[in-house]
A and B are shown apart, each in its own frame.
Chain A
């Protein structure tokens, strides 16, 4: 059922309260919960951390919004804690990494399939093939470092094969920027998609940047360094598709609407009743934030929020395997590269990227090393190699 964004005022901000016990609930089971429950948790953590990041930047630039931002941000902080603490401690950082890449593959694929703007759909497909390759590299690392099978996390929803090779993803910075949507013309779903994927990629970058040094193994330390660098490129790419002419309040409203949209998608598809209750509660909280920011937009900019984001949330993001779509994109677009904001065949790639790549890979490529001769096999490659 379609959800009207402004009909429900959700839970009012002053009623959005937490205790430490509600924030620190029993986590999911790594073994028994559905992979897509974990995907939703990671995605929503990305949205919540983006909410905090954006609201801090907004506060630095807007004195009159500092109090309202501080009030909303306190709730976002506790929502983020509640959501992220659902990941159980028996996930090794590398197993969580596999799950992050499953988010990047399956959510980006769903967005690419549903994005009405053809250029932006291409942007998502381009990024998708790179994250798809990261999944293969990290799966090789998990197998060869910890002796574990990445499919225990993926649950057969996502293929483990090379994508656009990570070694070729390193580009000169100017070739990571894209053209942005037009805030006056773009459909609401285009805006929601852009903030969703930007948030997911940002948290992935920060996660890798923080856990990389927790590894002792030099190959793991190098691989996290390399893939964190690509995630930074992806943040650059996805940030640039958002119209920079949006006002601070307009962006704030879009962030809140994106959170509401994603919690709505989670509520509609969650199979674990205890986790679904978390999504329902936070959907109501986010509708409260949308209502609160809408009033600020009316007060300071005298604008109708529905002009920015419509009044009905689009159909939920489908959380399911996109195997055939990903294979088709891989088959047709693996050789795409970039020249400025445009996608070109690898023969036409901007020489600045080639030069950048020549140097950064000149002492070896961690992503090539880790996956040397690697083909995924159920039960790890030892299952195939040891008679």
Chain B
């Protein structure tokens, strides 16, 4: 893989690795560019978030791969692998938190929704977006709640069949 004997930029293999890395970087950068365009062109926060996920996930992964192909020393490669892994773990958390807030607040243009099965079925345990609740702290971070507290197998405890079919649930 790494060929420390040849001077940099000389051997054919190294040039080939550089070329592949460059192609990868170019694609990643183009994705980032298009995402910035989408950030301006899409109509509401939730839609823009979809555009935002692109440079954060696939774009960054491609660029990191490209950078690793260019740098080629094991220290850098492993650190770049870590960057990719961190990004894969953390990006959806941000997306989820922001998306949740956006839907509860005014971050989504309801007139542009084909179906909104969440607003159609407000949760009884959950203060809706209409309630002001100015001083109450945000309900606990959603992530720990979904991450599983060893309560497996008890999740079907409440009335499943009743609420699910309400709203425009026309699909199979």
Please determine whether chains A and B interact with each other in the same assembly.
no
